[in-house]
Amino acid sequence: MKLKDIQTFVVGNPPPHYGGRYFVFVKLTTDCGISGVGEAYCLPFHPNIVAQMLVDTFERYMDGQNPHHIEKMWRRIYSAGFTQRPDISMMGVLSALEMACWDIIGKAAGQPVYNLLGGLVHEKLRSYTYIYARPEDKVNVYQDPDLSAERAAELVKQGFTAIKFDPAGPYTAFDGRHLSLEAMDLCERFCRQLREAVGSKADLLFGTHGQMTASGAIRLAKRLERYEPLWFEEPVPPDAPEEMAKVARATSIPIATGERLATKYEFGRLLRSGSAAILQMNLGRVGGLLEAKKIASMAEVDHVQIAPHLYCGPIVGAANIQLGACSPNFLIQESIEQWQGFHSAILKKPIQWQDGYIIPPTDPGLGVELNEEYLKGFPYAGTALHLDMTQDPCV
């Protein structure tokens, strides 16, 4: 069996844009006609350029290769252009291509990928969702604790046992910083009102995006501890795990981080520094499924859990599910609400969610297939990136 063909899909994600402005998918096909799909997450280039990067990398390192030879292809791509270090853009490309190879491998074996990475451990996967804005909202749900508390109660009624929110304000290219007293007051009010709204029926997941210095994050954490959040997410920028470790040592709230990291090398540094109790690798960025499984196993040694990150499309979601299903130290999986709407329509068979849990598929490979005809109706015509940071300092 040899890899023979590549096809890319740049898909505009229509309003309300849950999961980002667009998704970049790839499909690889072998000389015996088996195809597999993958997804690249949040590269800092226009998605049309990302699609070209996928094709270029495939043609240089994968065309004509056996898709089973993951380790060999991984090392060649990781070292491409005399890099041999965690390049976040190349790792996004590699993640998508590697993911597609695992989809092919699973289909060739007639097995879901989790059975090829250790076997099923969890028959269902606990999931959480962000509190998302809705088109009909008259106020900003991310800055209005009253509406957020109301929305949290609704999500708990749907079956969710964990809710994430991020009231700490904009994240900028100039962070970390100290939050203002007004911003910290708002963060504390969010935690208080959401805890009152959900009681002990749901965990609160306090999301940030590296806005703070370590000392600033410690100030905020002391205010939030009384509300027992399950985690304090990426309180400082991801380039300094030693600083994040200062926060971890100073608070009883578990630190979760990892969505902006790639490869076992960056996660190894994170683990050695004692920075986090929960790792949030994104399967469309970290280096692929096997790399994520290695990281989960490294974490298992230190009794650190995994909570795969998802702010993208359902192909990464499907890969996350395969990883979570076979990882003993799985904690919880990020969902885009119940995987409804566009996230369901672009798949031939939607991801199965029931009463707060994802049900791992039994179909071979990743267990999902793109609805390619449907995708043709959603080209991306914009110029903005998948995600952007505020470009000026926060004053």
Residues with catalytic annotation? 209, 309
By residue count, the chain amounts to: 395
Beta-strand pair 278-279/255-257: parallel
Is the backbone peptide bond immediately before 254 cis, with ω within 30 degrees of 0? no
Half-sphere exposure of 169 (CA within 13 A, CB side): 20
Q: How far is CA 192 from CA 157, 169, 212, 223, in A?
A: 19, 17, 21, 10
Give the span between the Cα atoms of 178 and 342, in whole angstroms.
38
**Residue 286's closest CA among 109, 2, 56, 42?**
42
Give the span between the Cα atoms of 145 and 167, in whole angstroms.
8
**What are residue 160's phi and psi, to 5 degrees?**
-65, 140
Half-sphere exposure of 277 (CA within 13 A, CB side): 14
Q: How far is CA 106 from CA 34, 47, 145, 186, in A?
A: 10, 28, 45, 48
Nearby residues of 18 by Cβ (< 8 Å), 6 or more positions away: 132, 336, 337, 341, 342, 343
Cβ atoms of 339 and 360 within 8 Å: the answer is no
Tokens linked to 65? 């290769």
Strand partners, 35: 29
Give the span between the Cα atoms of 201 and 162, in whole angstroms.
8
Check the CA dihedral 67-330-25-74 and report its sign: negative
Tokens linked to 160? 């969710």
Q: For the chain, where are the E strands, in sequence order?
A: 3-12, 22-30, 35-40, 125-130, 162-165, 203-207, 231-233, 255-257, 278-279, 305-306, 333-335, 353-354, 357-358
